């Protein structure tokens, strides 16, 4: 049996996060493309029915598979129960683990690869969930990263498969391919032109799910939405990838058209929102996370439309991540209060926008 060791949040904060660099296509609208592949080991019960000993054995299976493969060279293995609470929050904010997994009492683990482009969790809802993330609209690139990891693991492990149904997963919604494709999109143009509902209704009829900035929440916070496929049964991986990319192309074109309309016919309202948001963010002494996300949406739109200069997309992406409560709390000594975190956020934002200029 391998020995566990304690994991400090400081190690996580030092990790390079390559997907913050917006090098992908349409990255002004599609912030990230994320792909998740769910699998379960053959001969083991689903995680919700497995006993403690079996749950621990599942972790050991994936630990050994990683140790014996080239995956070990550029990845780190973390036992969730050996992490500080703040470290778990940081992983939630980076969307590497789910809140349910962070708070679960069952043994679980996560493997994170260099640059955080790809990771996989063990003993989440399924035995393993491989996740990849790419900046912009990059379905092929994100899928290739998942495939590279999955190929190495599948050479050493057998996954539960049914000839009629496909790959077996804990949730019926994931049975078949176990593949989920998600796009995090910034859609202020559709919001300001009152076209969001129309576009969402169209893509929902094609089997697409729309969520808000926070998982499970449909509330519009900062005009950021998670758009993903709903079912995986009866479709091949290639069909899911093709369909979701076609749908996101429609969303991108609709947002581009809405932004064009704003510039040509209704720029004053958008310009007012950008200037008001800039004024608040550069002068606030206290800044809550929800209002920050809402205001930074206008800053991003201002950059998109050429109304704000002096700050890059990369700097804004990094600011959006490091202004999250967990990341901020980790930079403050002791156990900071909400007041102290809001103050630190306001200071961080003012510093990040110090060279930004309204055109």
Q: What is the pLDDT of residues 252-307, one digit of tens each?
A: 999 999 999 999 987 899 999 999 999 999 999 999 999 999 999 999 999 999 99
* Bridge pairing between strands 208-211 and 224-229: antiparallel
> What would you measure as the largest C-alpha separation in the chain, in angstroms?
67
- Which residues lie across from 30 on neighbouring strands? 185
> Measured between alpha carbons, how far is 274 from 326 in angstroms, rounded to an integer?
27
- For the segment 140-155, what is each residue's pLDDT rounded down to a tens digit? 999 999 999 999 999 9
Q: What percent of the chain has pLDDT over 90?
A: 81
Q: What are the pLDDT digits (tens) for 32-90?
A: 999 999 999 999 999 999 999 999 999 999 999 999 999 999 999 999 999 999 999 99
| CATH 3.30.420.40 for domain 9-260 | no
Listed residue (243, 113, 119) closest to 183, CA to CA: 243
Tens digit of each residue's pLDDT (9 = 90 or more) over 305-328 = 999 999 999 999 999 999 999 999
Summarize pLDDT for 75-110 with one digit per residue, the tens: 999 999 999 999 999 999 999 999 999 999 899 999
pLDDT at site 220: 82
Answer whether 0.95 is exceeded by the pTM.
no
Question: What is the H or E stretch that residue 272 is in?
Answer: helix 267-281
Provide the residue ranges of all domains of the chain, joining segments of one domain with +.
Answer: 9-260, 266-358
């Amino acid at each position: 049996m391998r020995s566990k060791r304690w994991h400090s949040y400081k190690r996580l904060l030092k990790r390079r996060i390559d997907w913050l660099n917006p090098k992908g296509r349409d990255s002004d609208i599609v912030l990230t493309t994320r792909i998740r592949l769910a699998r379960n080991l053959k001969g083991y019960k689903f995680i919700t029915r497995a006993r403690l000993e079996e749950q621990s054995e599942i972790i050991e299976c994936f630990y050994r598979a990683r140790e014996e493969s080239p995956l070990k060279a550029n990845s780190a293995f973390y036992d969730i129960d050996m992490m500080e609470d703040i470290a778990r929050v940081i992983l939630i904010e980076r969307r590497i683990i789910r809140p349910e997994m962070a708070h679960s009492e069952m043994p679980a683990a996560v493997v994170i690869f260099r640059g955080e482009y790809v990771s996989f969790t063990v003993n989440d809802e399924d035995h393993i969930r491989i996740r990849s993330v790419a900046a912009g609209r990059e379905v092929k690139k994100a899928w290739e990263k998942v495939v590279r990891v999955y190929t190495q693991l599948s050479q050493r492990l057998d996954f539960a498969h049914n000839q009629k149904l496909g790959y077996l997963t804990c949730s019926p919604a994931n049975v078949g391919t176990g593949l989920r494709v998600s796009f995090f999109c910034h859609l202020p143009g559709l919001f300001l032109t009152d076209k969001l509902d129309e576009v969402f209704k169209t893509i929902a009829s094609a089997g697409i799910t729309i969520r808000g900035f926070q998982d499970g929440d449909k509330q519009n916070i900062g005009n950021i939405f998670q758009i993903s496929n709903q079912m995986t049964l009866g479709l091949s991986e290639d069909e899911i990838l093709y369909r979701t990319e076609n749908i996101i192309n429609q969303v991108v074109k609709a947002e581009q058209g809405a932004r064009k309309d704003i510039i040509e016919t209704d720029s004053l309202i958008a310009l007012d929102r950008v200037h008001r948001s800039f004024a608040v963010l550069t002068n606030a002494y206290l800044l809550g996370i929800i209002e920050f996300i809402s205001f930074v949406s206008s800053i991003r739109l201002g950059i998109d439309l050429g109304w704000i200069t002096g700050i890059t997309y990369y700097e804004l992406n990094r600011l959006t991540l490091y202004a999250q409560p967990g990341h901020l709390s980790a930079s403050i000594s002791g156990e900071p209060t909400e007041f102290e975190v809001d103050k630190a956020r306001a200071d961080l934002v003012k510093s990040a926008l110090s060279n930004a200029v309204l055109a």
